[in-house]
Amino acid sequence: MLESLHISNYALIDLIDIKFYPGFNVITGETGAGKSIILGALSLLLGSRADTRVVTNPDAKSVIEAVFTVDDYPMLKDFCLREDIEWDDDRCILRREISPAGRSRAFVNDSPVPLTKLREVSLHLIDIHSQHQNQLLATPEFQLDVIDTLAGNGLKLKEYQTRYNALREAVKRYKIKKTQIERSREDEEYTRFQLEQLDELNLLPGEQAELERERDVLTNMAAIKNSLSRACSALEADNSGALFMVDSAAEACEGLEDVLDGSDNIPERLESVRIELADIASTLSGIDEGLSADPSSLSAIEERLGAIYSLCHKHRVENSDALIEIRDALRAKLNSLDNSDMELEELQKDARRAKALAKETAMEISKARQEEATRFGVHLTEVAMPLGMKNLRCEIVVSRADMGPTGIDSVEFQVAFNKNQSLMPVGATASGGEISRLMLSIKSIIASRMQLPSIIFDEIDTGVSGDVANRMGSMMRDISDSIQVTAITHLPQVASKGAHQYRVYKEDDDSSTHTRIALLSEEERLQSIAAMLGGSEIDEAALAAAKSLLSQR
């Protein structure tokens, strides 16, 4: 349950610290006193968007903190431990801080958490039912959620979601592949033409670079052979070449044994130089003999390179190696296309299997919904009739729909409020007051299965009065036997049913107006309810009526 609430520096609230109690709490106060401000602050703990305009004092941050009693609540404990959030077996503390600069921070048990995690934790702790949420009753999503909650479909829906997502992925893969195949078939003829062109060239890795080297050699043949001739002549020319000179030096050294140091090995070194020069001369001579200035060879190379350059330009690549990659990719594409029918058939089988699994779970959920819809229609009629709707008839219609994220059903709440009136969708026939009473009845039915420590009703009794208001107050009091209930109300009949009553009011100081909240004593409750009954003038009749209402708690 909600144990305490702290609000500071938020709108008209400079500081509020209020304690709440188990059972049925009611909050009253004049219009404009600030009840909606307190509720707005509390909604920040449910993940609502923060607005820096609510930070009153620009030199301090706004803080909203709620303490919940959570003993024997394993679901929330498991969630927090799984998300690495600090856990206390007795209490769970939610806190939201908003800086004047607009920065918002969220905490669970002093662990900093993203806003999404704060929202997930708060959904385990409290349900705030505001006036505009009454309109949810007319939405198919809410109606389906009510039936699923009562039918206990939570785990089955998670299983279905997993299988439905698998189905969507399988269908997506099938469609993508089918589109690719269709596009490839449209381009198949052109793809085969491109591959034939590349196959005709019969390219080899590194071929273009080798051909360009050979072309450069043939183009500069005269200069190359002249250089080779000069090099060979310098090495081998009679009486002047390097080999002749080395031989002459060796002969001259033969008579110098007496003056040469034997350790210098001059003759051997000269012989080594002569052998190396002879080898170089032989290599250059062989190169010279192997080169021929055949014009047909150069022409063939130029033609081959021209074909390569043409395809490089066509495919917008730089060299023949890139063309080889394109050739291999085109061949793989055509091979894949040849096997595409078999591949597409396998993907279609995968989609069918995924659909069968999803449908299997959806049918189980649908059966549970059908059974619960019958029970709930009867139960809702029984609970809501005493709230001034004696001719009420309710029928929950579960119809087959296309498979979607929530299954294969659509749910529609149909009601009739008068005799001989045909059943119609609740949104098309119910007034605001009737919607409020139906919503309260639904909350009453599902209260024991909501697994929530606390629920807040924000003026759910709007549009009713008299005995109906009294019955709605009794219903909220009965709900509080299962969970903590807090009701914000303007009706004395509802306020009198609370075990504890709080009054929201405004208070002025020298510079500003502040919203306050106070727990009323028994005498203060008597005065407050009498004022709600009789207006600003509290007379004996109003006090007597207030005492009568309070005695019926």
Please determine, for residue 378, whether its predicted confidence score (pLDDT) is greater than 80.
yes
C-alpha span between 27 and 22 (Å, rounded): 14
Q: Which residues contact 228 (CB under 8 A, 6 or more apart)?
A: 284, 287, 288, 291
pLDDT, tens digit (0-9, with 9 covering 90-100), for 323-358: 999 999 988 887 777 777 788 888 999 999 999 999
Q: What is the mean pLDDT of residues 236-255?
A: 81
Q: Both tokens of residue 548?
A: 């009568």
pLDDT at 294 over 70: no
Contact 151, 456 (CB under 8 A): no
pLDDT tens, position by position, 191-214: 888 888 898 889 999 989 988 888
Weakest mean pLDDT among 2-11, 32-41, 126-135: 126-135
Q: How far apart are CA 479 and CA 92, in angstroms?
A: 23
Confirm if 93 and 67 have CB atoms less than 8 A apart. yes
pLDDT of residue 299: 83
Residues 308, 300: Cα–Cα separation, whole Å: 13
CA distance 550 to 544: 10
Averaged pLDDT for residues 365-393? 93
DSSP-derived letter for residue 65 is: E
Cα-only R_g, the chain: 46
Q: Is the pLDDT of residue 483 over 70?
A: yes
Q: Is the pLDDT of residue 517 over 90?
A: yes
Residue 165: CB atoms within 10 Å: 13
Instruction: Give me the pLDDT at residue 241, please.
Output: 83
Task: Tell me the three-class secondary structure of 303-340, residue by residue.
Answer: HHHHHHHHHHHHHCCCCHHHHHHHHHHHHHHHHHHHCH
Structure tokens at 425: 């969708």
Taking each helix axis from N to C terminus, what angle separates 320-338 and 154-186, rounded to the nearest 10 degrees?
120
| Res 438: pLDDT | 87
Residue 264 CA: distances (Å) to CA of 84, 245, 259, 417, 548: 83, 20, 11, 127, 134
Query: 130-139, 360-369, 417-426, 453-462: which has the highest mean pLDDT?
Result: 360-369
The domains of the chain, with CATH numbers, are 1-125+452-520 (3.40.50.300), 207-318 (no CATH)
Residue 448 clears pLDDT 70, i.e. is over it: no
Determine the Cα–Cα distance for residues 398 and 370; give it in Å rounded to an integer. Answer: 6
The pairing of beta strand 2-10 with beta strand 13-19: antiparallel
Cα distances from 394 to residues 240, 372, 381, 413, 443, in angstroms, run: 124, 13, 6, 7, 16
Mean pLDDT, residues 159-177 taken together = 94
Please give the average per-residue pLDDT across 470-491, as a whole number: 90
465-472 long-range contacts, CB within 8 A, separation 24+: 465/491, 465/493, 466/493, 467/388, 468/387, 468/388, 468/433, 468/437, 469/493, 469/494, 470/494, 470/552, 471/386, 471/387, 471/388, 472/387, 472/437, 472/440
The C-alpha angle with vertex 130 and arms to 110 and 17, in degrees rounded to 5, equals: 40
Query: Which helix (H) or strand (E) segment is 200 a member of?
Result: helix 188-201
Q: CA-CA distance, 27 to 486, in Å (whole number)? A: 7
| C-alpha to C-alpha distance for 21 and 178, rounded to whole angstroms | 63
Most confident of 65-69, 75-79, 178-182, 293-297: 65-69
Phi, psi angle pair for 359, to nearest 5°: -65, -35
- What residues have CB less than 8 Å from 327, skipping those under 6 apart? 195, 198, 199, 203
How confident is the model over 375-390, as a mean pLDDT? 91
The answer to whether 436 and 387 are in contact (CB under 8 A) is no
List residues bridging with 4 in a β-sheet: 19, 67
pLDDT at 79: 84
Asked if residue 131 has pLDDT above 80, the reply is no
Confidence band of 300 (pLDDT split at 50, 70, 90): confident
Give the H or E element holding residue 530.
helix 522-534
More confident residue, 298 or 369: 369
Confidence of residue 262 (pLDDT cuts 50, 70, 90): low
**pLDDT per position as a tens digit, 56-107:** 888 899 999 999 998 777 778 888 888 888 888 888 999 999 998 888 999 9
